[in-house]
Structure 1
Amino acid sequence: MDTDFATDHLLLSLDVEKLAADAVMHDKPDITAPRRAYTHTKKRAFAEFVECRRNGPLSWRCCGQTFIEPAVVHKHVARAHSVEIERRTSEALDRQLNLEKSGIAAEHQTEDEPEDMNAWMPDISHIPAEQLMEGDGEVLLYYCYCELTHPEPVCVWQRELCQMLHLTGKVRVATEGINGTVGGSLLGTRLYIRAMMSHPAFKHMSDDDFKRSEGGAHCFPELRVGVYREIVPMGVDPNVISHTLAGTHLDPEEFHREVQTLLTDEEAARDTVLLDCRNFYESRIGQFSSCLAPDIRKFSYFPDYVDQNLDLFRNKRVLMYCTGGIRCERGSAYLRSKDVCKEVLQLQGGIHKYLEHFPDGFYRGKLFVFDERYALAFNDDVISVCRYCGAPWDQYALCWPPVCCQLVLSCGSCRERGHTACCPTCQRKREARTHTSHTHSPDATHSTHSSDTTHTHREECECTDTRPRIPKDS
């Protein structure tokens, strides 16, 4: 359901401070915003809180109760959640103040003027083109939540910037911000970071917001830049479940101490859930000790997974983690909206930042990445096995023959014997194709290269058809 809270006349007409006679009144936060801005922001925060409790056209679920009349749920929220509303209001006003200080207010004047993009382009007139394409390279992973009223010009700027610097990768732009992973030469990525932080929308980013790993432009087949509804595809309207509702951020040192306590203290273990927000093929090759790793195929299934497994999180402290932190921003917000957890905390910077500080810490195995490297190694542990022989193995390759986009854990010995498919159906197709190839060309040899470009971009095999979309964990 798409809701424009700024024009919801019912909610904006409410006096949210006087909905309930017995509501606890609080001192106003120390803000510099005019009273009108404060009132509007508080009404919006109130509306967002009410909307995230909706579980039907005229039904809301909050604090274990079901409400069917808007006025009743409004009074309940005003009475029982006034502290939370004030907190959200204060945070929203602080964000707006920071945006204005960093110059984003001027973005509305510049985004629509393409010629102004030159102000955010690096001067490379003195740099030979080969310097931008040769030498050591790296891959950057980053995201930034910020308000982009007009994401299309930002998308155009990103595409031209990456092309200028000979970078490949994927960049998602939306009204809620930007999310990207790009690869190129060390010079190219350094200029890219500098250009990013020169843009008025991203000035509050720091060098530490970009996670680095060895690689380069060859790690991606192409450059893909586009405008999307969400910068991370959870499948929930960002206006309903916003990243601003996210859990408490823990830096790697704090998260490390929390996991250590979880593993050594029995009471903490009973009270805490260590939740992996990634997909099953990511957690299969690397994860934190004693984590709960949902058997889901993509992040857009995560909300349904939470809904169907709420009892796992009821009255628990939840520690969440993902690759770089961005999925936890929306995932923790969704979990908090269910109002069942004691506390929701998340690893700031994700596994990537944690492993920079603790390569031999509590995360074991490889870190899956969404490029042609498939995984990064920070320690020597192998926690997964070959699907054919059961030998330790954690190097993914695409299913062969190229009839789907499933990833396969098949060791070198098994691949030499022709075991390269993700399921029996694909294996039979492989054998049929090999037989046909040998029949038509006696000298032909079958190939198992995962980079074959004839495969479709859909998962069309029994692996997907027989897998439960949303597993029920116990």
Structure 2
Amino acid sequence: MTDPQLKTAKNRAQNDILRQRQTGDRNWTCCDLTCDNAPTMFRHIAAAHSDIVQAQTSVQLASMLQSKASTSAQDRDRDGSQEQDAEFKTRRAEKYGSDPINLTCQCDPALGTVILFYAYLPISDPLALARVHKTWFQDLELCGKVKLATEGINATLSGLSASVTEYIDRLTSLPEFEFLKLSRQAQHITQQNSGETDAALKKRRFDFFKPTEGCRHVFGEEASIKVVDEICPLGAPELSVYHDPKNKPGKLPPWEFHEKLKESEGRDDFVVLDVRNYYESSIGRFPGAITPPIRKFSSFRDYVDRNKDLLSGKTILSYCTGGIRW
């Protein structure tokens, strides 16, 4: 048994428990808690029902191991699924390799859109979602990079503006992504219940997907769709934002981060921590921020272990390219 296997079994167990607590299309009830999003109920289950999660995890793990043992080489050769899915689990380029930094293109960038987004949310079958993405990329002629894991999705992709909009519509309509409240279909229900305008949905989509002008060739001609252990490679797949109830949900909006920065001035019990790599932090950073000398995010864990005395017991304001947290 490996840590990724245990994590998958635990996610599946909590997914089953979550479904048992669902009382409507977008409502979950357990104990004295009623909520309208899956991550909140995930955290409640992890905190209040760890005994049930542990028991169900054992059941799931046994089922996974039994299923793996019963799958014969003849079955795999017959349907060819293992060979077809290998592309989702192999490296796109050689280790330590990188993409070209120069681009020659005759496209009109005004006709295209580039989006960048990530979300930590429970995905029960990342491999199935990878297959769906491959079909979407072919249908819509999209390019880019997508990482999928049981803990969520991390993606940057490009294409004609209409194609990118269609991709967003398809993704946000999937049941696992409903709690983001970015679906046009769900918007009609919200409008009836609360009178929310289309402009409000448009702004939420803009803030989440961060669309910018650009042609599809910014990522070359190939799509990279991978199933991974972590959508941001920290090197700790055993950690989960859902299984640890101490994790704080969501990101700070700019105004709140600004207020906390002012609050932290001159105080020893606050730390402003830049978790980007050293060449990003050298370009620009917040005044007084600590900039760890790391080349890649997977080195951040070692940095924290070496500097526990510096960070222990303090309020930490952290930021990276993808957002601001505390």
TM-score (normalised: structure 1): 0.41
Cα offset, 1:260, TM superposition: 2.8
Cα offset, 1:233, TM superposition: 1.0
Structure-1 residue corresponding to 2:232: 232
Residues 39/231 of structure 1: CA separation in 2 closer, same or farther (3 Å cut): closer
Structure-1 residue corresponding to 2:252: 250
Residues 288/215 of structure 1: CA separation in 2 closer, same or farther (3 Å cut): farther
One-letter amino acid matched to 1:281: Y
Q: Deviations over 1:120-163 (max 9, x none)?
A: xxxxxxxxxxxx99843221111122222221110011122122
Pairing 1:117-196 to 2, within 5 Å after superposition: 135-196=110-171
Cα distance between partner residues in 1 of 2:301 and 2:241:
14
Cα distance between partner residues in 2 of 1:321 and 1:259:
12
Instruction: Indicate yes or no: 2:185 matched with 1:210.
Output: no
Task: Give the secondary-structure state (helix, strand or coil) at the position aligned to 1:143.
Answer: strand
- Name which of 30, 33, 52 aligns with 1:31: 33
Residues 150/281 of structure 1: CA separation in 2 closer, same or farther (3 Å cut): same
Structure-2 residue corresponding to 1:79: none
Cα distance between partner residues in 1 of 2:124 and 2:297:
26
Greater radius of gyration (CA)? 1
Pairing 1:351-366 to 2, within 5 Å after superposition: none
Residues 133/144 of structure 1: CA separation in 2 closer, same or farther (3 Å cut): farther
Structure-2 residue corresponding to 1:112: none
One-letter amino acid matched to 1:290: G
One-letter amino acid matched to 2:257: F
Cα distance between partner residues in 1 of 2:278 and 2:9:
40
Structure-1 residue corresponding to 2:82: none
Structure-2 residue corresponding to 1:333: none
Task: Give the secondary-structure state (helix, strand or coil) at the position aligned to 1:201.
Answer: helix
Cα offset, 1:225, TM superposition: 0.4
Cα distance between partner residues in 2 of 1:5 and 1:174:
11
Residues 44/228 of structure 1: CA separation in 2 closer, same or farther (3 Å cut): farther
Residues 252/44 of structure 1: CA separation in 2 closer, same or farther (3 Å cut): farther
Cα offset, 1:5, TM superposition: 8.0
One-letter amino acid matched to 1:308: R
Unmatched segments (≥5 aa) in structure 1: 9-27, 48-131, 329-344, 347-474
2:110–2:215 CA contact under 8 A, matched in 1: no
Cα offset, 1:182, TM superposition: 0.6
Task: Give the secondary-structure state (helix, strand or coil) at the position aligned to 1:163.
Answer: helix
One-letter amino acid matched to 1:212: P
Cα distance between partner residues in 2 of 1:45 and 1:305:
35
2:110–2:214 CA contact under 8 A, matched in 1: no
Instruction: Indicate yes or no: 2:224 matched with 1:220.
Output: no
Cα distance between partner residues in 2 of 1:39 and 1:313:
26
One-letter amino acid matched to 1:235: G
Residues 38/252 of structure 1: CA separation in 2 closer, same or farther (3 Å cut): closer
Query: What is the Cα-based RMSD across aligned positions, in Å?
Result: 3.3
One-letter amino acid matched to 2:234: M
One-letter amino acid matched to 1:306: V
Cα distance between partner residues in 1 of 2:320 and 2:109:
32
- Name which of 33, 50, 73 aligns with 1:43: 50
One-letter amino acid matched to 2:230: E
Residues 38/178 of structure 1: CA separation in 2 closer, same or farther (3 Å cut): closer
Higher relative contact order (CA 8 A, sep 6+): 2
Q: Deviations over 1:98-139 (max 9, x none)?
A: xxxxxxxxxxxxxxxxxxxxxxxxxxxxxxxxxx99843221
Structure-2 residue corresponding to 1:303: 301
2:122–2:150 CA contact under 8 A, matched in 1: yes
More helix by proportion, 1 or 2?
A: 2
Instruction: Indicate yes or no: 2:276 matched with 1:278.
Output: yes
Cα offset, 1:306, TM superposition: 0.3
One-letter amino acid matched to 1:42: H
Instruction: Indicate yes or no: 2:284 matched with 1:321.
Output: no
One-letter amino acid matched to 1:276: D
Residues 38/153 of structure 1: CA separation in 2 closer, same or farther (3 Å cut): closer
Q: Deviations over 1:410-430 (max 9, x none)?
A: xxxxxxxxxxxxxxxxxxxxx
Cα offset, 1:261, TM superposition: 3.0
2:146–2:156 CA contact under 8 A, matched in 1: yes
* Identical-residue share of aligned pairs (%): 37
